[in-house]
Chain A
Amino acid sequence: KMSHLGNTNSSLNVSSLRELARKQLTTVLDSVRGKKCLVLDPNISAPLSLIAEFSLLKEHGVEKVHYLQQGPLETDLKSLIYICRPQLNYMKYIAGHHQKNDPSSVYEYNLFFVPRRTKICERVLEDSGVFGDILYVFYHLDLIPFEDDLLSLELDNTFKELYLDGDYTSIYYAARALMKLQTKFGLFPRVIGKGDCAKHLADMLLRMRKEVAVDDPSSTLSVSQSIDSLIIIDRSVDLITPLCTQLTYEGLIDEVFSIRASHVEVDSSIVGPASQKSVATTSATTSTTTTTPAQPSPPPPAKKKKIALNSTDKLFVQLRDMNFAVVGGVLNRVARRINEDYEGRHQAKTVAQIREFINKLGGLQSEHQSLRTHTGIAEEIMAYTVTPEFNKALEVQQNLAAGIDINLQNDHIEEMINRQVPIVQVLRLLCLLSIVNGGLKQKSFEFFKKEILQSYGFEHLQTLLNLERLNMFVKQGSTNNKFSSIRKQLQLIVDEVDEHNPQDISYVYSGYAPLSVRLIQCVTKGCPTSINPVVTGAANNVAGTGVSTRSIGWKGYEDVLRMLPGKSFDEVQRLDDGTIRSKKLIQGQQPRVTLIFFLGGCTYTEIAAIRFMAQQEEGQREYIIATTQIINGNSLLNSIMQKIDHLGHSTSGSS
């Protein structure tokens, strides 16, 4: 049911955001005359490619594209356009380019900040004496549409910035982006959420709306006709979900290969015909992508192929949100069908029939290619999921989430450290252990810390301190353990999961329902009644009165909310005359759209679970997911881990 951008059947025209971003990009490009050289922030380049293809850049005078990095920039083009995030290291590189170039030459520097320039960046450029020679423009690239139901700000490390560094820049960017959505689609009638930073975001959004009204009284926003509410979920509320290994197809692709801006890079030998294998090993990869620590052993440098993972690939649409356990069977069936379709050529007797077959052939071939790609990827994931290490880690996770044999899990984790599995995997389990138990006993807390320092290196002392500050790895007593009652009240563990025919969102982790999405179900009362958490009060009216009167809000779930960290809130946005919403909406003439914003990132499993909810609602409600970025346990922990590059630290243990 999900359509790709461009031919939308969503009640919210998300692709119009893409058009807007494209138009803004071409406008800024056109503001510089003549042929130009584009110098891109490597982190922006992938999301930017979702907005504009190279031919569009070319139409607007871009001759060459370079990555912004340290060292000299060689180009004969005189107009340089830098597009980058306001980061200090980038400012230093740019200043370096400027100083190296012949001062008498006529280079023209243009710097586009995404999304705005900061005082500290200005300072760096001033100190390098280049500030006055550069032209500054803003490029307000914010929410990038990945799919009709998925938008991302593509910021990195937001959780760490918010909760470890106390840096709230991402809240500001998020509020700006949401404000833009309100300008386009109308005021969100309700803003509901959970988490301290989520509360900051909601407050900032309400304030921004008031400021707009003061600045320009004529431009009063009307209440949205299609969006019924904005739900903001803060990552700090649910750290369990990202720490668990995602078991959907797209989630596992991300765990094994790392997806960036809906693209994945894999060895071309995996997805290409087997004959390419000999060629592939000879040429080394040019772009150094960060290999996931999850990979069992880093493959020898081989030719990489970039694969787009989006809904233009019909087979991928079918597979992406499925539990990986059923993916093999589907691929098999599709293979058989394609084969039959090819065989159809033998039935073609007349010229007209042959022509008809040939017309079909193009589609058939692209289907065939897609099948080959996904069979290759699935085989690679399969090879990873059958390893004892993977299964042991999964078993530990599932036991921890379900609260089974907790003490036994300590031994398993100790053994993993002894086997020197990558530290990220160990930390994922230790944090999970700590969070579900409300901390470790003093003795085992110090034991594990010592094990980690001695096994993986002393520099991780800072990592451990960071995790402690984030309440992710602590000793008992520093937090209250309420997970077991949260688990019970929200029915986070579902014993019987039918992966082929899932009845509940818990299928995405084969038994564990993501806490964050359960909270969203609390708000929208979107649980099927069979698994509806047992609560007193308001939730009971769900069964009797039918879908149309289901009320949105936290009512009935106050107890659970109190057990989770952070503030909860529920604000109503009214027009100045006091009307809350138009009559039309109450009568439910069109599907209600609920916008969900994940502050601090969300996982592919959470996206899959929300899409599953939408299907369960059978058109009564649509969900649009917006997030600061898409994360998994590895990227989350990597952002928190202390990195000391110049230490020359080697991990010879993994031989």
Chain B
Amino acid sequence: ITILESYEQKDLNERINKLKVASSRYQEDKEHAFEAKAIDEYIKLLHTQSQLEKEIPHQQLVGLSLNDTVHKCITTNHSNKANKLKSDFKIPDKRFWWIKLKALVEMRDWDELDPM
């Protein structure tokens, strides 16, 4: 329920605070270790996204999925940021290449595509 409430928070910090509460509640329960970890990772994603929004102008990133964030980084020519997301969030190679492939096709960037 706290997770749901978090979506109602317009302010990013408020949302993160709600999520932190949810995460700590899940941490109390061994069975929900995955959920606690997932929420922590989401908080990390939100932080990263808001940081990226400052560096990449005119892009709304907060609220996107991780895949879509990576996709946006590539289509806005920030491949290095995409690579950082890959290592920070441990995206499997296979999935990362799929995202990259799609993004490059969308950009019609055949030069970058070629080595793939």
Binding site for B on A (CB under 8 A): 414-415, 417-420, 446, 449-451, 453-459, 461-462, 465, 644, 646-653, 655
Q: Which of A415, A417, A455, A655 has the most CB of B within 10 A?
A: A455
Most chain A Cβ neighbours within 10 Å, of B8, B65, B66: B65
Query: Which listed segment binds A: B32-40, B76-84, B108-116?
Result: B32-40
B3 an interface residue at 8 Å Cβ cutoff?
yes
- Return chain B residues, CB-CB under 8 Å to A450: 38
A648 touches B68 (CB 8 A): no
Q: Which residues of A contact B34 (CB under 8 A)?
A: 446, 449
B98 with A418: CB separation less than 8 A:
yes
B67 touches A653 (CB 8 A): yes
Given the known A-B contacts A418-B95, A446-B34, A461-B35, are A647 and B66 also in contact in the complex, defined by CB atoms under 8 Å? Answer: no
B95 touches A649 (CB 8 A): no
Distance in Å from the Cβ of B67 to the closest Cβ of chain A?
Answer: 5
What's the dominant secondary structure at chain B's contact region? helix
Give every chain B residue within 8 A of A456 (Cβ-Cβ).
Answer: 65, 67
Bound state CA distance, A415 and B92, in angstroms? 12
In contact, A652 and B63 (Cβ under 8 angstroms): no
Docked-complex contact A649 and B63, CB < 8 angstroms: yes
Q: List 22 A-B contacts (CB under 8 A).
A: A418-B94, A418-B98, A420-B98, A449-B38, A451-B92, A454-B66, A454-B91, A454-B95, A455-B65, A455-B66, A455-B67, A456-B65, A457-B64, A458-B45, A459-B7, A461-B3, A462-B4, A646-B8, A647-B7, A649-B63, A651-B68, A653-B71
B55 at the interface (CB under 8 A from A): no
B54 CB to nearest A CB, Å: 20
- Contact indicator A652/B38 (Cβ below 8 Å): no
A653 neighbours in B (Cβ, 8 Å):
67-68, 71, 99, 102
Q: What does DSSP make chain A's interface, helix, strand, loop or mixed?
A: helix
13 additional contacts, CB 8 Å, given A449-B34, A455-B67, A650-B64?
Answer: A418-B95, A449-B38, A454-B66, A454-B89, A455-B66, A457-B65, A459-B7, A465-B35, A649-B64, A649-B65, A650-B68, A652-B68, A655-B102
In the assembled complex, which residues on chain B have CB atoms less than 8 Å from the CB atom of A644? 4, 7
**Chain B residues with CB under 8 A of A451:** 92, 95
Q: Which residue of A lies closest to B60 (CB)?
A: A648
Distance in angstroms between the alpha carbons of A414 and B38 in the assembled complex? 19
Which residues 18-73 in B have Cβ within 8 Å of A in the complex?
A: 34-35, 38-39, 41-42, 45, 63-68, 71-72
- Please report the C-alpha to C-alpha distance between residue A456 and residue B66 in the assembled complex, in whole angstroms: 8
Judging by beta carbons under 8 Å apart, are A655 and B98 in contact?
no
Check A453–B67 contact: CB distance below 8 A: no
Q: Are B39 and A461 in contact (CB under 8 A)?
A: yes
> What's the Cα separation between A420 and B94 when bound, in Å?
13
In whole angstroms, what is the CA distance A652 to B106 when docked?
A: 11
Task: Given A648-B63, A655-B106, decide whether A461 and B38 contact each other with a Cβ distance below 8 A.
Answer: yes
Within the complex, what minimum Cβ distance (angstroms) separates B9 from chain A? 11
User: Which B residues are in CB contact (< 8 Å) with A419?
Assistant: 98
Instruction: Give Cα distance in the complex from A453 to B64, angstroms.
Output: 11
A417 CB contacts on chain B under 8 angstroms: 95
**Least Cβ distance of A415 to chain B in Å?**
8
Report the bound CA distance from A652 to B74 in whole Å: 13
**Top 6 A-B pairs ranked by shortest CB distance?**
A457-B65, A454-B66, A418-B98, A458-B42, A455-B67, A418-B95
In the complex the two chains form, what is the Cα distance from A556 to B102 in whole Å? 56
* Interfacial chain A residues near B63, Cβ < 8 Å: 647-649
Bound-state Cα–Cα, A417 to B96, Å: 12
B6 CB → nearest A CB, Å: 10
A462-B3 contact in complex given A418-B94, A418-B98, A455-B95, C-beta closer than 8 Å: yes
CA distance A417 to B94 in the complex (A): 11
Contacts of B45 in A (CB 8 A): 458
State whether B35 touches A458 (Cβ < 8 A).
no
